[in-house]
Amino acid sequence: MDTLSLVLISIGLAMDAFAVSLTEGLAMKRLKKRNIFRIALVFGGFQALMPYIGWRIGGVFAEKISKYDYIVTTVLLLFVGGKMIYDGWQEQECEEKGKCDMVSNLLLLGFATSIDALAIGFSFSLVPNLDIYYSIEIIGIITFFIASIGVFLGHKMGHLISYKTEYLGGGILVLMGLKAFVSHFI
């Protein structure tokens, strides 16, 4: 597989992570480099790990899993989006303590947005002479940078919106989950 094809695949895979990174940036009260790095690392890491897992498993289970990937994605996005909306109601407590728990949501989001990368890994197992390590490196790095940009842009937009951004971010995730479900049938 040539590098241009790999870069285009990587950009396509990173679009879900970009959208979710926007919502994470929207929900941030203060933009900190370590939070941008953590979010980008989780998304880049999952986007790199899942194709590797898919490649290792190979085409053995590809048909069976691909039939249900939309259900896993939908459930995870609806859960995390709903939780973000609920967390919006809990905003006072979050501000009083000064620290909100993003880690559990972030790991679920990293997994949910990388389900399609698992399927790409299955297809990678069918490509002769593919350097999987180079491929997942490119996927991870591109996703890392795109997610970083998403967090930054989301945070900047969040300051322009005067209402609770957790509701908006959660709503976006719920809509993404519903889109994943509906697009399977269309």
Specify the pLDDT at position 89.
62
Q: What whole-number distance in Å separates Cα of residue 85 and Cα of residue 174?
A: 10
Specify the pLDDT at position 149.
93
**Phi then psi for 101, rounded to 5 degrees?**
-85, 100
Q: What distances in angstroms separate CA 3 from CA 47, 123, 146, one per listed residue?
A: 17, 16, 18
Specify the pLDDT at position 9.
86
pLDDT mean by block of 10 residues, the chain; 186 residues: 86 84 82 92 95 83 64 69 66 52 70 82 81 95 95 79 56 75 79
Q: Where are the domains of the chain?
A: 3-185
Tokens 């900047």 belong to which residue?
Answer: 156
Specify the pLDDT at position 74.
74
Token reading at 10: 């990587």
Q: What whole-number distance in Å separates Cα of residue 43 and Cα of residue 110?
A: 5
Q: Which amino acid type is present at position 107?
A: L
Instruction: Tell me the whole-structure pTM to 2 decimals.
Output: 0.70
Of 110, 69, 105, which is closest to residue 85 (Cα–Cα)?
Answer: 105
3-state secondary structure of 91: helix
